Chain A
Amino acid sequence: MPLTVALYGVLGLAIVAVAGAVTQRGALGRPLVYGLSAAISATLLAAGLDALLGALAPETATLPLGLPWLGARFRLDALSALFLAVVNLGALAASLYAVGYGRHEHEPARVLPFYPAFLAGMNLVVLAADAFTFLLSWETMSLASWALVMAHHREEGNARAGYVYLVMASFGTLALLLAFGLLAGAEGGYAFDGIRNVEHAPAVKALVLILVLVGAGSKAGLVPLHAWLPLAHPAAPSHVSALMSGVMTKVAVYGFVRIVFDLLGPPVWWWSVVVLLLGGVTAVLGLLYALMERDLKRLLAYSTVENVGIVFIGLGLALAFRANKLDWAAALALTAALFHVLNHTLFKSLLFFGAGAVLAATGQRNMERLGGLIHRMPKTALAFLVGAAAISALPPLNGFVSEWLTFQAVLVSPQLPQWGLKFLVPAVGAMLALSAALAATCFVRAFGIAFLGRPRSPEAAGATETDRWSLGAMFAFAALCVLAGVLPGHVIDALSPAVVSLAGARMPVQAEVPWWSIVPIAESRSSYNGLLVFAFSAISGLLAAALIRGFATRRFRRAPAWDCGFPDPRPETQYTADSFAQPIRRVFGTHVFAARERVDMPAPGDTRPGRFRARVHDLVWDRVYAPVAKAVEYGARRLNPLQALTIRRYLSLVFFSLILMLAVLAIWR
């Protein structure tokens, strides 16, 4: 039943996409498209939750679409149901947000038809049960999101972002295509059931793993395949940015989990080494990039890269445990990863909504031109603060719970017998801890510079609060961030059907733990209770407030800032985003970014201005992408003369190619 509902929902989204293309000119288009998208997403969310929480048996359907002899197969099992719920949770909030936010769109015709198509593509990916449908849906998702990235193509840099995205997306799909080709084998068993039942050779499995890491990893933003992500995600309209960062990366994670955990069969321990290394490096580098960034939306996109790293650390640990038949530990690591998937959808969508509200109110994404928004947009500021605290893994919010679970998974890993893992896992644990601490720094910087202090530009000084739809979407997700952090046991239990289907075991039933605490493994003596931590913090804060206010004066006086006796009213004297990041740039940047600072201080008596220059390089771009681009360009230039030959030469070229191919064929046989 839920699968039927889901498929009708996708059909509905397709119709809405057509409606969006038709009604774009009228004033009706925006509320119609986003309202219907929200309604359909809510239905799909309900269907996903029903299938997940009801622990229904996997449901399959075959539609006479796609390849004639194959049909399009769909399946809704626990994993699909979980991701269906996550996708549509994000889509529901983004659609509601867009009902208000969409007003700021200058060319709605470039957004309205593609938005529902993008949603439909993502939903189909998680429902697909054969390689053809999967790839087709994957490409729909990629192309629709590409069209949305190009919605503001006249803005500087966006055309390049779209180009890089298109190249990387095609590259990723190619890798997935090859992976499915290998999995299908010579018989061409494209259905997932067929792939699951075949035992693949170890070399094939290894190759598929690498290809999936490239294909799904590039969509999710694993370093060094992340380069497109911080360009493309921020270029789209903000509700689409929220979807791309909060939801589409999760669909990529789904692709990885579906293929590696489900289709590929039992893992080998060294797979986890690759995944853990990539995850750890991604987590740390993503944040270091984010800390160097001035553009609020690009900062959020880089932080997405970090969070994907954390998810992959959890997945890597789960692979390691599963390869060693430690199912209970695999369940813990997998729960941590899936919990973080949900959390990241919640807080990253929320933060992008906030950034979009700021962008709409000020026209600025550059943090150096913002400031003081907490006075002008108090509600947006509050919601953004909750998101910032949640993503910084502060208790009692939800980000901390998934981090705690991942740490607990690291702590059970000495049981792994392989020496390589014994050395790697603590190092990855250190990277995880480092990224958590850097996340707090990054979001103190983001919130502190953009929302606190004094306005750094007239636009920031004249900002006004955003509309009610946007605020509603933000506060709904802020509330969910608190709720998932305070009652984590319920979330863990809800995730368990998906975990069981992949790991063969589950975490202890958390609802049975007294006081709604959570415990990582049954015999563990470690526990955490978000509700009590929340209650204690609230009680002690209120107690302190009550005591102090009862004992002392309640009044306070306003006066100019003290600032050690030299207050300067000009906003330029505030700390900027760049100056805030300077210590981090000095500590980490010298190696990671080849950061160099040059101070040009005039001699005493010289009246020319002093200058300070800080340069940061993106080494991944310089070392990996730039050489590839250069090689492609070189090859293209060499081949260019071939386009202007005489007919005689072309014919001889054709002739010689034919001879060559026949010769190859002859030798091959």
Chain B
Amino acid sequence: MALIGELVVQGVQMTLVLLLAPLLTGIVRTLKSRAIGKAGPPPLQPYRELLRLIRKEPVVAEGASWLFRAAPYLIFAGIWVAAALVPTFASGLLFSWSADLIAIVALLGSARFFLALAGLDVGTSFGGIGSSREMMIASLAEPATIMIVFTIALIVGSTQLSSISAYTASEEIGLRVSLALSLVALLMVAIAENGRIPIDNPATHLELTMVHEAMVLEYSGRHLALIELAASLKLVLYVSLIACIFVPWGMAPPGAGLGAYAVGLASYLGKLLAGGVVLALFEMSIAKMRVFRYAEFLGAALMLGLLGTLLAFVSRSL
């Protein structure tokens, strides 16, 4: 019985993150526009865009290989699986033990690997510029993430997300300097990984400043739809990840009743909304950086992560 319950929760979560992903992107867009005095698109606009893209016939560049057409599915699969393994409204996921936090980070790395290759496949200069910059950002952001994982794992004693959220939700955690440092670092990494301002501008169409958009420039139709959906999923994943690690309250424990699940769902939606609002406000209040200042931004995240790990190494109570 418990098995079926967990299976259902797992299935619900996989569908839930997929359905919510465009909404979060839409909310952030709408809020940003409102905050700077524009009317902006309605929050549901991303769904319409996805449907329109899926229906359209994709145009594939001459000279694109099979990898170009396979990559969207690989990218989407990698990010979807990663998103399905982060506890959102309930912590009792059937398959959460199959991949821990390190594996989730690495799954996102797999998706990025294929995205960067897809950017190089057609052999255009914009694709190359996007891939090259994305990999530079990743080569700093990924170690920073691993350092954050180390800090949390050292405090909790596990790299398993369900154990981590259960531990933070319990009383024994208290306030810790190392956790605060890793929270800041994780926020910085999340901004960089999702290509938000100040690292990348998701709304830009000024070619020389693009990173993510430059890589996917050649995509259209259903391929583009999958990549856009994967990008939205990644945003949901990061908000869920931060919520799961740092504010796990409200999450339904394994084997809870329907009421607990309802509470979990409501609190998760609230967390997502709060994340979206914070992101929109942050993005509108800051300017985009020059490309070669990314290293300072991400280097700072890496150093914060390392400092957190050092503290966690040196003392169990910091």
In the complex, A413 Cα to B102 Cα: how many Å?
17
For chain A, residues 433 to 479, give those with C-beta under 8 angstroms from any C-beta of chain B: 433-434, 436-438, 440-441, 443-445, 447-449, 452-454
For chain B, residues 51 to 72, give those with C-beta under 8 angstroms from any C-beta of chain A: 54-63, 65-67, 69
Residue from B63, B129, B154 in contact with A454 in the complex, judged by beta carbons closer than 8 Å:
B63
Residue from A555, A568, A575, A582 in contact with B131 in the complex, judged by beta carbons closer than 8 Å:
A575
- A1 to chain B: closest CB distance in Å? 41
- Is B312 an interface residue when CB atoms closer than 8 A count as contact? yes
Query: Given A533-B99, A552-B222, A564-B207, are A411 and B159 neighbors across the interface (CB < 8 Å)?
Result: yes
Query: Given A400-B103, A430-B147, A436-B142, are A563 and B125 neighbors across the interface (CB < 8 Å)?
Result: yes
Contacts of A444 in B (CB 8 A): 113, 116-117, 120, 131, 135
Query: Given A394-B109, A422-B314, A440-B138, are A527 and B160 neighbors across the interface (CB < 8 Å)?
Result: yes
Contacts of A445 in B (CB 8 A): 135
Residue from B58, B98, B147 in contact with A528 in the complex, judged by beta carbons closer than 8 Å:
B98
* Most interface-central of B54, B103, B312 (chain A CB within 10 A): B103
For chain B, residues 245 to 297, give those with C-beta under 8 angstroms from any C-beta of chain A: 291-292, 295
Decide if B97 touches A394 in the complex (CB within 8 Å).
no
- Is B209 an interface residue when CB atoms closer than 8 A count as contact? no
Contacts of A526 in B (CB 8 A): 100, 153, 158-160
The residue of chain B having its C-beta at the shortest distance from the C-beta of A539 within the complex is B77
In the complex, A540 Cα to B74 Cα: how many Å?
9
For chain A, residues 362 to 386, give those with C-beta under 8 angstroms from any C-beta of chain B: 371-372, 374-375, 378, 385
Contacts of A632 in B (CB 8 A): none
- B307 to chain A: closest CB distance in Å? 9
Decide if A394 touches B106 in the complex (CB within 8 Å).
yes
Decide if A537 touches B109 in the complex (CB within 8 Å).
no
In the complex, A400 Cα to B136 Cα: how many Å?
20
Query: Given A394-B109, A561-B122, A583-B291, are A429 and B150 neighbors across the interface (CB < 8 Å)?
Result: yes
- A455 to chain B: closest CB distance in Å? 9
- Is A324 an interface residue when CB atoms closer than 8 A count as contact? no
Query: Given A395-B103, A429-B309, A548-B222, are A557 and B59 neighbors across the interface (CB < 8 Å)?
Result: yes
Decide if A580 touches B132 in the complex (CB within 8 Å).
yes
In the complex, A452 Cα to B114 Cα: how many Å?
12
In the complex, A393 Cα to B119 Cα: how many Å?
20
- Is A536 an interface residue when CB atoms closer than 8 A count as contact? yes
- A299 to chain B: closest CB distance in Å? 15
Decide if A440 touches B150 in the complex (CB within 8 Å).
no
Contacts of A557 in B (CB 8 A): 57-60
In the complex, A555 Cα to B132 Cα: how many Å?
31
- Is B92 an interface residue when CB atoms closer than 8 A count as contact? no
The residue of chain A having its C-beta at the shortest distance from the C-beta of B296 within the complex is A587
- A512 to chain B: closest CB distance in Å? 15
Decide if A437 touches B142 in the complex (CB within 8 Å).
yes
Stretch at the interface among B24-32, B34-42, B78-86, B180-188: B78-86
In the complex, A400 Cα to B240 Cα: how many Å?
24
Decide if A395 touches B117 in the complex (CB within 8 Å).
no
Contacts of B56 in A (CB 8 A): 552-553
Contacts of B81 in A (CB 8 A): 533, 536-537, 540
Residue from B55, B107, B126, B140 in contact with A395 in the complex, judged by beta carbons closer than 8 Å:
B107
The residue of chain A having its C-beta at the shortest distance from the C-beta of B305 within the complex is A430
Query: Given A528-B103, A536-B81, are A430 and B129 neighbors across the interface (CB < 8 Å)?
Result: no
- Is B112 an interface residue when CB atoms closer than 8 A count as contact? yes
Residue from B55, B76, B217, B302 in contact with A544 in the complex, judged by beta carbons closer than 8 Å:
B76
In the complex, A533 Cα to B78 Cα: how many Å?
9
In the complex, A528 Cα to B105 Cα: how many Å?
13
A-B contact count (CB 8 A): 285
* Most interface-central of B55, B67, B129 (chain A CB within 10 A): B67
Residue from A400, A537, A584 in contact with B139 in the complex, judged by beta carbons closer than 8 Å:
A584
Contacts of B100 in A (CB 8 A): 526-528
The residue of chain A having its C-beta at the shortest distance from the C-beta of B295 within the complex is A587
In the complex, A542 Cα to B116 Cα: how many Å?
21
- Is B146 an interface residue when CB atoms closer than 8 A count as contact? yes
The residue of chain A having its C-beta at the shortest distance from the C-beta of B156 within the complex is A525
In the complex, A529 Cα to B154 Cα: how many Å?
21
Binary A-proximity of B84-102 (CB < 8 A = 1, otherwise 0): 1000000000010111101
In the complex, A540 Cα to B75 Cα: how many Å?
11
The residue of chain B having its C-beta at the shortest distance from the C-beta of A560 within the complex is B62
Contacts of B126 in A (CB 8 A): 563-564
- Is B45 an interface residue when CB atoms closer than 8 A count as contact? no
Query: Given A441-B139, A452-B67, A540-B76, are A411 and B150 neighbors across the interface (CB < 8 Å)?
Result: yes
The residue of chain A having its C-beta at the shortest distance from the C-beta of B122 within the complex is A561
Contacts of B55 in A (CB 8 A): 552-553
Query: Given A394-B110, A452-B121, A454-B63, are A582 and B132 neighbors across the interface (CB < 8 Å)?
Result: yes
Binary A-proximity of B217-239 (CB < 8 A = 1, otherwise 0): 11001100110000000000000
Query: Given A448-B117, A557-B57, are A536 and B131 neighbors across the interface (CB < 8 Å)?
Result: no
Query: Given A414-B313, A556-B60, A579-B132, are A441 and B95 neighbors across the interface (CB < 8 Å)?
Result: no
Contacts of B312 in A (CB 8 A): 414
Number of interface residues of A (CB under 8 A): 90
Contacts of B60 in A (CB 8 A): 556-559
In the complex, A557 Cα to B60 Cα: how many Å?
6
- Is B202 an interface residue when CB atoms closer than 8 A count as contact? no
Decide if A563 touches B142 in the complex (CB within 8 Å).
no
Binary A-proximity of B139-157 (CB < 8 A = 1, otherwise 0): 1111100110010011001
* Most interface-central of A375, A389, A452 (chain B CB within 10 A): A452
Contacts of A103 in B (CB 8 A): none
Contacts of B47 in A (CB 8 A): none
Decide if A563 touches B218 in the complex (CB within 8 Å).
yes
- Is A410 an interface residue when CB atoms closer than 8 A count as contact? yes
Residue from A527, A564, A571, A581 in contact with B123 in the complex, judged by beta carbons closer than 8 Å:
A571
In the complex, A576 Cα to B309 Cα: how many Å?
38
In the complex, A538 Cα to B157 Cα: how many Å?
31
The residue of chain B having its C-beta at the shortest distance from the C-beta of A575 within the complex is B128
Contacts of B128 in A (CB 8 A): 453, 574-575, 579-580
- B156 to chain A: closest CB distance in Å? 9
- Is A60 an interface residue when CB atoms closer than 8 A count as contact? no
- Is A392 an interface residue when CB atoms closer than 8 A count as contact? yes
- Is B191 an interface residue when CB atoms closer than 8 A count as contact? no
Decide if B98 touches A532 in the complex (CB within 8 Å).
yes
- Is A271 an interface residue when CB atoms closer than 8 A count as contact? no
- Is B306 an interface residue when CB atoms closer than 8 A count as contact? yes
Contacts of A524 in B (CB 8 A): 158
Sample (30) of A-B pairs whose CB atoms are under 8 Å apart: A375-B63, A404-B106, A410-B150, A414-B312, A422-B314, A429-B146, A433-B143, A434-B139, A434-B143, A437-B138, A438-B139, A444-B113, A444-B116, A448-B121, A453-B123, A453-B128, A517-B97, A524-B158, A536-B98, A540-B76, A541-B74, A551-B54, A558-B60, A561-B123, A561-B124, A562-B124, A574-B128, A580-B128, A580-B135, A587-B140
Instruction: Give the B-binding residues of A (Cβ under 8 A).
Output: 371-372, 374-375, 378, 385, 389, 392-395, 400, 403-404, 407-408, 410-411, 413-414, 422-423, 425-427, 429-430, 433-434, 436-438, 440-441, 443-445, 447-449, 452-454, 515, 517, 524-529, 532-533, 536-538, 540-542, 544-545, 548-549, 551-553, 555-564, 567-568, 571, 573-575, 579-584, 586-587
9 new A-B pairs (CB below 8 Å) besides A556-B57, A562-B59, A573-B125? A436-B142, A437-B143, A556-B221, A561-B63, A561-B123, A562-B217, A573-B124, A575-B127, A583-B136
Instruction: Give the A-binding residues of B (Cβ under 8 A).
Output: 54-63, 65-67, 69, 73-74, 76-78, 80-81, 84, 95, 97-100, 102-103, 106-107, 109-110, 112-113, 116-117, 119-129, 131-133, 135-136, 138-143, 146-147, 150, 153-154, 157-160, 163, 207, 217-218, 221-222, 225-226, 291-292, 295, 302, 305-306, 309-310, 312-314, 316
The 4 A-B pairs at the shortest CB distance, nearest first, are namely A575-B128, A453-B123, A541-B77, A448-B120
